[in-house]
Amino acid sequence: MSPGVSIAIGYVVIAIGILAALSSLIGARWVLLVASLLLLIFGIRLLVGGRRELARDRIDPPELPAGR
């Protein structure tokens, strides 16, 4: 998966996790709260991984194919 896609999915998952956490706090459903926290953790991992890969590509850009 490309770093840009990973970052975009990370932001979406974090937003879903925040909305689920807020809705579960209103209704006090602990299962939904735990699930939303897991979504937040997964989204943050995607976001950090994508940013780390982008930074690595800036430091050491991928080589072009031979003959170009």
- pTM for the full predicted model: 0.60
Report pLDDT digits (tens) over 3-57.
778 778 888 888 887 887 777 777 767 777 777 778 888 888 888 888 888 777 7
Of the chain, the end-to-end C-alpha distance in Å amounts to 25
Each residue of 6-45: b (16+ CB within 10 Å) or e?
Answer: bbebbeebbeebeebbeebeeeeeeeebeebeebbeebee
Closest-CA residue to 43 (of 1, 67, 2, 8): 8
Rounded Cα gap, residues 54 and 23, in angstroms: 34
